[in-house]
Chains A and B, each alone.
Chain A
């Protein structure tokens, strides 16, 4: 499934190294994110996950694959996009690993690299969400769902009409989005934060391909400390 080809055991491809650098930089920003190193492969995460049955890679396998240097395969999976962010795994992990936050970091890495995943529709929804937020400052559910189906499966629009009418009759839908007064200031904040995110990605730390498994994270932290 993954396209990464290993030259030698324990040596990662250039793509894998790049993806890993972006991902580890995201992990560094998760409070207690480095605990990913402590995984004992017990499977409590998979057992606690209400949607693991619908995943192609279970949460436990996800960490094993990361450890084995197969990040690219994880990023292309359906798994990271089916996580509904209920945090059951995080709460129960005996090693205190922030699994849900780590999956968010994986989602961002996949978005960042524009990777082809098995759930492009979720990525489309996320992008539309950010567009609406940028324009209005608030989410307008009607606009989001309509735009999402129009760009995906327009026939789906018909199936949501009955619900729309019921909500309308009970004054639970507004036709137009509400735009906040400070939308221009919010847009400025977002643009600035986007620049900062770019800076994070471009801050290329020297990354040696031999850092397979968890070592990468340890080295990254060391570099940071030295730099500080």
Chain B
């Protein structure tokens, strides 16, 4: 299958490991990604707090570009995924908003029908490519690596989508099937605070401490994420959490596509693992070419 790829701003640079691993995994599974030419920021949660029609129009420009390509959108970032899907929902249920947004898009020579589907890579990998195809291409087992699967909030909420909202299981199934051992992780959909790390740091540090403590106490050797915001908070602020709470967390945080890439035999550098801020740990290092950090 072919998808209109929407990397989003975080994946361009600070979270290049997600972008690189999504591209590698999809290529390894014979799925074609065509990046939407000249895409713009989806507006994220910030624009939605300022102006309504503007936030919808900014997001809809990307959907209009994808519509021209005649392809479904693939959006790995949870925030982009939710914002783009929400735009669809609003435009399809409030005709007045649809008309207004198209009036704005026309200024840029664009129009949008509201019909471009927005998909997340986890959904595509499990429900379209399928576990059978992935297992056929498997080159290596995760060999009992203990994984805490962290879904975050925005790929399963607010509306019923491709997985359960309270207890999603696709990551568990996907990584369990390729040899990972999924540890109990009851906080799998609890919020990491997102942008609160910038605006209410104390609150965000506490939220992330809870997530790390839950994973580590349940024996996790690695936590996998599906979202650049979760990833940034859990990875880059681990030292600050340790300093604040007197903990000694050293839990590697990986994108689920990075682990899957290793399973499919892609080199760790091509999966952006050289960009990790934390040591990968003993077991993971045996699967990568270098220990990094």
The residues of A with any CB-CB pair to B shorter than 8 Å are: 26, 29-32, 50-51, 54, 81-82, 84-88, 90-91, 98, 100-101, 104, 107-108, 111, 119, 121-122, 125-127, 129-130, 133, 137-141, 145, 148, 163, 166-167, 170-174, 178, 180-182, 185-186, 188-194, 196-197, 200
| Contact (Cβ within 8 A) B200 A50 | no
Interface pairs (19), CB distance under 8 Å: A32-B93, A50-B207, A51-B193, A51-B200, A84-B195, A86-B157, A101-B158, A108-B51, A126-B47, A133-B47, A133-B58, A138-B12, A139-B41, A167-B236, A172-B15, A180-B40, A186-B108, A189-B107, A190-B54
Q: Look across to chain B and name the residue whose beta carbon is closest to the beta carbon of A224.
A: B96
Once bound together, how far apart are the Cα atoms of A193 and B15, in whole Å?
A: 30
| Contact (Cβ within 8 A) B48 A104 | yes
Interface size for B (C-beta < 8 A) is 66
The residues of B with any CB-CB pair to A shorter than 8 Å are: 9-10, 12-16, 38-41, 43-54, 56-58, 61, 89-90, 93-94, 96-97, 100-101, 103-110, 153-154, 157-158, 165-166, 189-191, 193-196, 198-200, 203, 207, 236, 274-277
Given A171-B16, A193-B51: 4 more A-B contacts, CB < 8 Å: A86-B157, A119-B199, A139-B44, A200-B53
Please indicate the chain B residues that have their CB under 8 angstroms from the CB of A129 in the complex. 44, 46-47
**Nearest Cβ distance between residue A110 and chain B, in whole angstroms?**
9
| Contact (Cβ within 8 A) B58 A189 | yes
Once bound together, how far apart are the Cα atoms of A166 and B94, in whole Å?
A: 46
Please indicate the chain B residues that have their CB under 8 angstroms from the CB of A148 in the complex. 198
**Nearest Cβ distance between residue A203 and chain B, in whole angstroms?**
11
Q: Look across to chain A and name the residue whose beta carbon is closest to the beta carbon of B89.
A: A31
Once bound together, how far apart are the Cα atoms of A148 and B13, in whole Å?
A: 20
Once bound together, how far apart are the Cα atoms of A190 and B41, in whole Å?
A: 12
Partner of B165, one of A82, A91, A181: A91
Most buried by A among B9, B106, B195, B207: B9
Q: Look across to chain B and name the residue whose beta carbon is closest to the beta carbon of A139.
A: B9
Most buried by B among A86, A100, A107, A129: A86
Once bound together, how far apart are the Cα atoms of A32 and B46, in whole Å?
A: 22
Please indicate the chain A residues that have their CB under 8 angstroms from the CB of B190 in the complex. 50, 86, 88
| Contact (Cβ within 8 A) B277 A31 | no
| Contact (Cβ within 8 A) A82 B196 | yes
